[in-house]
Amino acid sequence: MNIVAVTACATGVAHTFMAKRAIEDAAKKRGHDIKVETQGATGIEDALTPEDLKAADILILATDIKLAKMERFDQVKKVTIPVSTAIKNANGVIKRIEEKLES
C-alpha cells in the first residue's frame, strides 16, 4: 500500500516526531510505502504534495490538535487517531487499516 500520514502534538517537539518514526518503522516493516508530514513547533516539515496525496491509498492523521491546511485532504481516504496511539502501536494501526481496506 501507499500510506501517507500527518503527525502533530500540542508542543510540537517530541511526540510529533516520535509518532512519525513509529509510523515509518511500522509501515516499512509491513512492506508499505510511507511518507510522513510533521506539523511541529516550527510548522510543516516534509509536506505532503498533491502528487503524494493522489497516489495515497490511505492517510493517517495522528494528531492531538487542529491540523493546518486540512482542505488538502478532502479527497483522500483517512483515519484519525491520537498521537499516543501511533507511538504505542503504529503496527496495530496499520494492520487494522489493512483489514478494513480489504473488507
- List of residues contacting other proteins (CB under 8 A): 9-15, 18, 41, 58, 63-66, 75-82, 84-85, 87-89, 91-93, 96-97, 100-101
Which residue has cell 505532503?
Answer: 48
* Longest CA pairwise span in the chain (Å): 39
| Closer residue to other proteins, CB minimum distance, 6 or 93 | 93
User: CA 73, 102, 6 angle in degrees (round to 5)?
Assistant: 25
Examine the residue annotation and report whether 58 is marked as an active-site residue of this protein: no
Nearest CA to 72 out of 93, 83, 56, 85 is that of 56
| Closer residue to other proteins, CB minimum distance, 44 or 79 | 79
User: Of 3, 9, 56, 59, which residue is the catalytic one?
Assistant: 9
Instruction: Report in angstroms how near the CB of residue 18 gets to other proteins at its nearest.
Output: 7
Residues classed as catalytic: 9
